[in-house]
Structure 1
């Protein structure tokens, strides 16, 4: 059976922590809690009013868990993941910045996923109806400036809606002293937890042009009614719609992705052959 995205297994070694914002009265659960995760790394746990939750590691500004109201894990994190900097975390939602893939002079997907982010104690105003959210910020170090000589503030808000929806909002501010503009690439490299990948289909990308990274970025047009998986896939869909759906027939579950300000969509699945060659990739 061809599978690569499995439900995250139970993990130990997580300590206690303290609540940093309450959802309401003392009888309610802590909406936001700062505590220790695997290998003592700092993480923030977000909790919804009906059982949903999310976990965000400050290392990488990385969402590693998202559970619905039934406590079902919706993201994949490799069981072989060691959570040991400076290696990036495999799975969850890595932040790719200021480069995506190998399209530039920096390391794969840039350096943001390999940096320790800080909790933003004074974020700019941002409307929200959720009480369960955290604001993070990343600024360049001297080492970063040597590799990529641009000054910036990258602000990330991770919010858990009252209905269990997970919302990520990113804002990048140019803080160059001379105001000189710069260009960058950015992506949420989300790993969704699904059952048998051959039972999964993606809707919303029909008739779009895409660049096939397995064919030297040659440009093609999607022909099917929906995208299905029969082998390795690595495609960049150009001008993707704001709504995309991932249907998992075996789990009878549908992920609905809504995006704004991100024009393209990447669909990647290593299939079993390539997955076996990746030392940090496991169920």
Structure 2
């Protein structure tokens, strides 16, 4: 058994879903819809969430590039890609992840749909949980060669009326220990980035990748976006980060057993430089707030398990 520190507490969301929730499974994606209209779509390629609609299905909460590849040819630009077992460019040499591509392999492997669970809580609030699996035996030959560890990933996506919960379970199924990083690369949809702020990071130390990976301490109660932003906030003491738009709370992002958050917006020049980012002005309507364990490495011994995730609440 693992130490309790490796396991998250229960998040304050319904645990599954009401009878009547519809789940449609095709060769490429899984779509779930609640009786009240809320929905989520998950590609089997990368287990990438590409749509989450709340407010009876009227409000899309995730930004997806108009040029996002949804055919399994490359990682998805937008939605919620899964980053594992390394965040960003891997160490240049001397680390087991050094031969992997940026952000690892989980977002460009085909996952297995493990099934759904549905139930109803006492308050008559429905939800549906979808489970996806990726295992070392199912990796492409190149990925297996680059990272030859025996592991199992189970990714759970739970849709409720006003929230989406995404949780990753990592298990070491081999005899050799391994280190990893993980991140949920969430692209939130906003109406106007100039009216958006992120609260809950004041006093937190961060690495600013725009400023040569220099280290700073956040001095602002509200972090606004006025140019390219690429910051890794580490060891955040409180669990909730709030995205505010036009002075009103828009999203609460509740981390569970994950201590880090990346805030990213490519702004004008970088957006134009990315071939799969469209439209060029799309940076005005998105903000990445990405929960993860990316400051240093998580280590799992034989048979150990790590679990961490997020609960995103739509506050409209």
Q: Same fold (TM over 0.5)?
A: yes
The SS at the match of 1:160 is: strand
Q: Which residue number in structure 2 is paired with residue 194 of structure 1?
A: 190
* 1:248 positional shift: 1.5
State the 4+ residue runs in structure 1 displaced beyond 3 angstroms. Answer: 127-131
**Is the Cα contact below 8 Å between 2:78 and 2:186 reproduced in 1?**
yes
Q: Deviations over 1:254-273 (max 9, x none)?
A: 10000111111000000112
Q: Which moved more, 1:203-212 or 1:134-143?
A: 134-143
In 2, the alpha carbon distance for the partners of 1:200 and 1:265 equals 17
Query: What are the equivalent positions in structure 2 for 1:141-180 lying under 5 Å apart?
Result: 141=139, 142-161=141-160, 163-176=161-174, 179-180=175-176
Q: Which residue number in structure 2 is paired with residue 43 of structure 1?
A: 29
* 1:69 positional shift: 2.0
Q: Which residue number in structure 2 is paired with residue 32 of structure 1?
A: 23
Instruction: Report how many aligned residue pairs link the two structures.
Output: 248
In 2, the alpha carbon distance for the partners of 1:151 and 1:217 equals 33
Q: Which residue number in structure 2 is paired with residue 282 of structure 1?
A: 278
Match among 103, 113, 117 for residue 107 of structure 2: 113
The SS at the match of 1:145 is: helix
The SS at the match of 2:61 is: coil
**Is the Cα contact below 8 Å between 1:48 and 1:164 reproduced in 2?**
no
Q: Deviations over 1:80-127 (max 9, x none)?
A: 123232311110000000011113321110010000000125x9x9x9
* 1:22 positional shift: 9.2
Q: Which residue number in structure 2 is paired with residue 10 of structure 1?
A: none
In 2, the alpha carbon distance for the partners of 1:168 and 1:95 equals 10
* 1:148 positional shift: 0.6
Q: Which residue number in structure 2 is paired with residue 12 of structure 1?
A: none
* 1:220 positional shift: 0.4
The SS at the match of 1:78 is: coil
**Is the Cα contact below 8 Å between 2:90 and 2:101 reproduced in 1?**
no
Cα separation, partners in 2 of 1:213 and 1:128, compared to 1, 3 Å? farther
Q: Which residue number in structure 2 is paired with residue 4 of structure 1?
A: none
Higher strand content, 1 or 2: 2
The SS at the match of 1:120 is: strand
Q: Which runs of 5+ in 1 are unaligned?
A: 1-20, 36-40
In 2, the alpha carbon distance for the partners of 1:148 and 1:134 equals 27
